Chain A
Amino acid sequence: MFKDIFRKTKYVTIKSGQMQNRTPSEVSMQGEVVGISKKELPDGLWVKCPKCGEVLFNKDIEENARVCTTCEHHFRISANARLALLVDENSFEEWDAELTTLDSLEFPGYEEKLIEAQEKSGMTEGILTGRARIEDIPFVVAINEASFMMGSMGSVVGEKIARAIERAIELRLPVVIFSTSGGARMQEGILSLYQMAKTSAALGKLAENRLLYISVLTDPTFGGVTASYASLGDIMISEPNALIGFTGPRVIKQTMRQELPKGAQTAEFNQEHGLIDLIVARTQMRSVLARLLRYHQEGAQYGATV
């Protein structure tokens, strides 16, 4: 199905009904939307930018990689839409789509939540993995889906990431992971927590094989995902203004009675504190990744026999 998308158009059309639910940086860790109300937007034709307040023609921002044409605010984007923006046409081969969730703890309300998430996201779980090309350079890609239970990591997400990394080692390919996640998924308890260890250990194997890992943090990335695969990139990239941290701002405020300074936990804050290499606008992501992947292609290293 993804291949069809690429043949048709460069950008995936996002249904109007979903517009209001996708305002980034206004979503709390539990996914409560506190952004613009539906009343302000009678139909899907227009969208109000939460940053600059400008009312924008929906079609215009879609043609601009869902980035505000006035202030460059990055609206949240689905995994499939991101993939379409990023990789060469018809180059994506999806892996492990048949892995689906097991409610092994029989956690209250989990099955209902999963069905809801599947309907909302059109995906079976919170991450897309596979192999693709950028400017003809092959690589392994994984992209979190924010609308699937806040991109949280349970057994399936952890397993898909670990398998993708292991296959990258077999195929001797670099790995790029786009994270957007509230963290480890509560509903799978300790099993979710250990996916952090699983994905980190797999990245250890990748590093041992001297293969590149680029981590791209997008809005929002928190908790167990920040504390595992998302922080272990050889190169750490973020989209502008993305919220990134370990503990969510609401929890810090509640438990520490500490008001975070303005701009705390943004990509820029993280870069200032030495945690991120590059802040890259979505419209530039493809070309920056192509350049970084090229630096690391087999044969590019000093001493390599060409």
Chain B
Amino acid sequence: MAQLFEFEKPIAELVVRIAEIQKFSADKGIDLSQEVATLEKKVALLKKEIYGNLEPWQKVQIARHSERPNFYDYAPLLFEDFTELKGDRLFADDRSVAGGIALFHGIVVTVIAQVKGKDTKENIKRNFGMPHPEGYRKAVRLMDQAEKFGRPILTFIDTPGAACDLGAEERGQGEAIARCLLAMSGYHVPVISTVIGEGGSGGALALGAGNVLLMLENSFYSVIAPESCASILWKDTTKAKEAAAALKFTAQDLLRLGVADELVRESQGGAHNNLNQTADELSQVISKYLIRLRSESPEVLREKRYEKLRTIGFFHETADINLTKDLT
């Protein structure tokens, strides 16, 4: 059975009870279908109640679920075909970033995606989805190609953050991310970014400064990992739950803050429960925005992307120092 979270246990308990009653009913030849139906209704209600009111920390757990679909799970469902292209032409091919050309609803697009592994072996290969500078430089190479050939760019964000080791520092991790941001700001093609799992800080942002930001409803996107935030604020990494609430990083928060443009519905309890259903929702939402953006002129696309970034952030513009909050 799939990894089960503490908050899902009441549901699991009821499911087990239903199975027990059904077995008992079959063994003894007693009709208990009435009882089973009542309990099944109760399960449905409980699911709605629990999954409809997830706290930020619970969403973090879902977004990091070991069976959370990654880019390679979605790719065959989203694209008619996908040709992966590799390497940054400078140093290496970073396997935490996938890129290539795909056919999406009949439109040729360039795709860039961060990829986490689903088991230890794959995670080691993909550095747990934490790109090195060569991953970001591959992204820029392929996005430049998209600009050259007039292809829309679709990016998929799923990373705990950029790689944080000596090699990353030696090869200019900061510069590599900054170049991604700079490059993306200049393109004349539509750029649609989607957070499909974890959006970890600058390493995620490198692929996130497009015309449109979509987020799967249980994804999150944060300036800092909740554990690190808790360690700074309260010198206690176990307070990650409190930090998760303080950082306002859920998909719903980002929509409210004007950073995300639309949320994509996941199957109940998270995308891992029904990949096909989630992929279908994702496909429809991306398609809707792609059609909308393709009607804009290249110059307008670029200008609107700039304007979107320009308006993110809140501040006072008065001479007196006043720290009151009035965000609505």
A residues sitting closer than 8 Å to B (CB atoms) are 30, 98-109, 111, 114-115, 118, 124, 154-156, 158-159, 162, 183-186, 188-198, 200-201, 203-205, 207-208, 223-224, 226-232, 245-247, 251-252, 255-256, 258, 260-261, 264-265, 273-275
Contact = CB atoms under 8 A, between A and B. Distances in A.
Nearest to B318: A98
Contacts of B247: 105, 107, 186, 189
Q: Which 3 A-B pairs have the closest CB atoms?
A: A226-B174, A155-B313, A201-B185
B169 A246 contact: yes
10 contacts: A101-B316, A104-B257, A185-B223, A193-B205, A194-B309, A195-B313, A201-B181, A231-B179, A232-B182, A246-B177
A42 B263 CA distance: 59
Contacts of B209: 194, 197, 200-201
Interface in B108-125: none
A166 to B, nearest CB: 9
A196 B181 contact: yes
Contact of A108 (B165, B201, B246, B259): B246
B327 A102 contact: yes
B172 A159 contact: no
B164 A158 contact: no
Contacts of B141: none
A74 to B, nearest CB: 21
B317 A99 contact: yes
Contact of A228 (B181, B246, B257, B321): B181
Contact of B323 (A114, A207, A232, A261): A114
Interface string B163-186: 011101111111101110110111
B254 to A, nearest CB: 6
B56 to A, nearest CB: 11
Given A227-B177, A251-B228, 20 more contacts: A30-B232, A99-B315, A99-B316, A108-B246, A184-B201, A189-B248, A190-B223, A190-B253, A193-B205, A197-B208, A201-B305, A201-B310, A226-B174, A226-B178, A227-B178, A245-B169, A246-B202, A247-B168, A264-B169, A273-B170
Contact of A252 (B165, B224, B228, B314): B165
B261 to A, nearest CB: 13
Interface string B249-269: 100011001010000000000
A188 B173 CA distance: 23
Given A159-B315, A231-B174, A265-B169, A197 B185 contact: yes
B254 A190 contact: yes
B223 A193 contact: yes
A193 B201 contact: yes
A247 B205 CA distance: 15
A245 B202 contact: no
A167 to B, nearest CB: 14
Interface of B: 162, 164-166, 168-175, 177-179, 181-182, 184-186, 201-202, 205-206, 208-209, 221-224, 228-229, 232-233, 246-249, 253-254, 257, 259, 305-306, 309-310, 312-319, 321-323, 325-327
A104 B325 contact: yes
Nearest to B205: A193
A185 B202 CA distance: 12
A101 B322 CA distance: 8
Contacts of B313: 154-156, 158-159, 188, 191, 194-195, 198
A156 B314 CA distance: 8
Given A201-B181, A231-B174, A245-B174, A258 B166 contact: yes
Nearest to B228: A251
Given A201-B209, A204-B182, A227-B174, A186 B232 contact: yes
B205 A194 contact: yes
B185 A204 contact: yes
A190 B248 contact: yes
A100 B322 contact: yes
A100 B205 contact: no
Contacts of B312: 191, 194-195, 197-198
Contacts of B259: 190-191, 194
B165 A186 contact: no
Contact of B201 (A118, A154, A224, A264): A224
A15 B47 CA distance: 62
Given A105-B248, A231-B178, A256-B164, A247 B173 contact: yes
